[in-house]
Amino acid sequence: MRQSSVRGERPRPRVRDAEALGWDETLYEGRGPGDEEPGSEPREHGRRGGGGRRRAGGPRPPRRRRRILRWFATVLAVLILGTSGAGYLYYEHLNSNIKKDKLNLGDEKNRPAKAKANAAGQTPLNILLIGSDARDTKENQKLGGAKETFGAKPLADVQMLLHLSADRSNMSVISMPRDTLLQMPKCTDPDDGTVYPATTGRLMTNESLGRGGPGCTVATWEQLTGIHIDHFMMVDFAGVVSMADAIGGVPVCVDANIHSKDRQGHGSGLRLTKGTTAVKGKQALQWLRTRYGFEDGSDIARSKAQHMYMSSMVRELRENATLSSPNKLRRLAEEATDALTVDEGLGSVAKLLSLGNQLKEVSPSRITMTTMPFQYVGARVIPKPGDAEKLFRLVREDIALDGKDKKKSSEEEASKDPAAADAEIGVQVQNGTRTAELGPVGGRANAVAQLLVGKGFTKAAADSSVLLTEDRTVVRYPSADLEGDAQAVAKSLGIPLSSVEKSTQVSGVTLVVGADWREGTTYEATADDDKAPTSAKLLNGANDKACMHVNPAFTWR
């Protein structure tokens, strides 16, 4: 396993000559290797007169390490590889640039089940974007790193869950504030075997990265949300400014003149005039780092500004998908892959390209960005009771946050498979009463199992080996021949048939007691509400009128 960039620096290799590695600029003239017309002679890859030579004017300036707000280079890597054409596939050495780490450092048995496939056999994709605010180099100090945190454990100061729908029609991006207080799961460092025990108290979520690596951040998200995460991407900030430059700047808007700097010297230094400015270079970096000066000066406001930048950059890339300079694209690909840390399932250029091609199919009008609903506890925040869990449920059930999904049929159809006698149906009962705000109800699985036994399901038994997060009580079954049995269990408890579902994650009829049934012996079904909570404050990716509010204390004339 290669060392993640958050655990220490490694020397940056000298980039080999691009032409020798197979770069072919004809790819940007409408045709490339493998695209010859039928009957024509294939062109020898990489043999263009004068190709790959740098023009006069001296060597390219040395690249500076930018490891602040690493999350944004995630979008950089995916979108570059997804829009720049097949030429990057010939850069075999890019694969060796990519660092890999274990996906999940928690207990495998406690992981949420994978999302079930839709009628077409498609499954959604959940990717956790992680950004470290490590300040372990002098370069980071120059870019705004706090001196008192030099050499400390890295913090996952930016965390965003990217959900791509099963039919690839829409995308949701949910940020979590870095100072969200959560219970941490047990995590084991894959490098040295250090075990970080589960916490009974609450820690800030950004501390998860220091508990063994990005896989612990993934485990923390899964424990909180009940969402199965398929991949993570963690990237340093190198190349973000170059991307902004390559596309001519990213338009951002403020509703007043802003200077992000207070009397104590806190702030990014961002200085903009009222209205829209295409930021690039240092200004792009400042925008993404700015907290002092936006709205209430919180990380919530900074997340909002980052969402606006992401949306704007996606729109710019789609409008300028074929950039004029292949040399810039080549350098950006080098930067992106050299900065990238992913799980082992995403560890190649080909896999990243496949992912990028899926992501770029989503229209900006179907991209929804939001921050997890929260409430303050002193200077920190916790997930907002009810609203946060509702948002997570929509993601788990692959329901678009923009409300534009086609309405699902609510008709309940009885199974054609006859149920066995109640006393012959084996039922495992699991505890899913844990929520983002509340711990699990102790003994709940056993209490409901005994309730079933009293109704004649004498083979019902509690499964205390797992604790799940389910906002609604569900009955799952693995195969069609058990559908009738599962429905019989549901009917005996008053659970609607719409909550009976087939799942390959169970081996028999399994009842998961959800957070909607934390007490009592009578289940009361609640009506479905598939609208995102208003506290989520959604931002549509096609909204080019969004403007950040400037705190009057940070404006100028």
**Tens digits of per-residue pLDDT, 105-131?**
999 888 888 888 888 889 999 999 987
pLDDT score recorded for residue 65: 37
The mean pLDDT of 528-533, rounded to a whole number, is 80
Of 59-68, 137-146, 183-192, 531-540, the poorest mean pLDDT is in 59-68
3-state secondary structure of 235: strand
| Same-domain status, 428 and 386 | no
3-state secondary structure of 99: strand
- CB atoms closer than 10 angstroms to residue 423: 10
Q: How confident is the model at residue 1 (pLDDT cuts 50, 70, 90)?
A: very low
| CA–CA gap between residue 160 and residue 369 (Å, rounded) | 10
| Same-domain status, 366 and 484 | no
pLDDT score recorded for residue 235: 66
Question: Is 547 among the domain residues?
Answer: no
Question: Is 318 among the domain residues?
Answer: yes
CATH at residue 292:
3.40.630.190
The model carries a pTM of 0.69
pLDDT score recorded for residue 202: 92
Q: Which two tokens stand for residue 172?
A: 């949701």
pLDDT score recorded for residue 172: 95
| Same-domain status, 167 and 67 | yes
Whole-number percent of the chain with pLDDT over 70 = 73
| Same-domain status, 13 and 80 | yes
**pLDDT tens-digit readout, 274-324:** 999 999 878 888 898 899 999 999 888 988 998 899 888 888 877 765 455
Question: Is 46 among the domain residues?
Answer: no
| Same-domain status, 204 and 144 | yes
pLDDT score recorded for residue 26: 40
Check pLDDT > 70 for residue 83: no
pLDDT score recorded for residue 340: 80
pLDDT score recorded for residue 528: 62
Question: Is 34 among the domain residues?
Answer: no
- Domain-ending residue, one of 341, 361, 396: 396
| Same-domain status, 305 and 434 | no
Question: Is 522 among the domain residues?
Answer: no
| Same-domain status, 426 and 383 | no
The mean pLDDT of 437-446, rounded to a whole number, is 89
| Same-domain status, 311 and 446 | no
Question: Is 130 among the domain residues?
Answer: yes
DSSP H or E stretch at residue 503: none
CATH at residue 457:
3.30.70.2390
Q: Which two tokens stand for residue 62?
A: 């040395």
| Same-domain status, 434 and 355 | no
Check pLDDT > 80 for residue 10: no
Q: What is the DSSP letter of 350?
A: H
| Same-domain status, 261 and 343 | yes
| Same-domain status, 383 and 490 | no
**Closest to 183 in 3D by CA, of 198, 168, 162:** 198
Check pLDDT > 70 for residue 91: no
Q: Which two tokens stand for residue 430?
A: 């699991």
Q: How confident is the model at residue 522 (pLDDT cuts 50, 70, 90)?
A: very high
Check pLDDT > 90 for residue 326: no
The mean pLDDT of 150-179, rounded to a whole number, is 88
**For the chain, how many structural domains are there in total?**
2
The mean pLDDT of 223-240, rounded to a whole number, is 81
Question: Is 552 among the domain residues?
Answer: no
**Closest to 286 in 3D by CA, of 143, 160, 178:** 143
Question: Is 312 among the domain residues?
Answer: yes
Tell me the backbone φ, ψ of residue 513, rounded to 5 degrees: -75, 115
Q: What is the DSSP letter of 469?
A: B
pLDDT score recorded for residue 50: 36
pLDDT score recorded for residue 350: 83
pLDDT score recorded for residue 284: 86
| CA–CA gap between residue 314 and residue 110 (Å, rounded) | 36
- Look-up of token digits 């995102």: 532
Check pLDDT > 50 for residue 195: yes
Higher local confidence (pLDDT), 265 or 189:
189
Higher local confidence (pLDDT), 78 or 504:
504
Q: How confident is the model at residue 78 (pLDDT cuts 50, 70, 90)?
A: low
pLDDT score recorded for residue 72: 52
Rounded to 5°, the CA angle 290-296-302 comes to 30
- For residue 390, what are the contacts with CB-CB under 8 A and spacing of at least 6? 471, 529, 532, 533
- Look-up of token digits 């990243």: 352
The mean pLDDT of 404-423, rounded to a whole number, is 73
Mean pLDDT of the chain: 79
Percentage helix, strand, coil, to 5, in the chain? 30, 20, 50
- Residues of the domain holding 269: 5-29+63-396
3-state secondary structure of 299: helix
Range among 158-167, 237-246, 329-338 rated most confident: 158-167
| Contact predicate 555/256, CB 8 Å | yes
Higher local confidence (pLDDT), 389 or 220:
220
| Same-domain status, 451 and 510 | yes
Q: Which two tokens stand for residue 383?
A: 């997930």
pLDDT score recorded for residue 317: 73
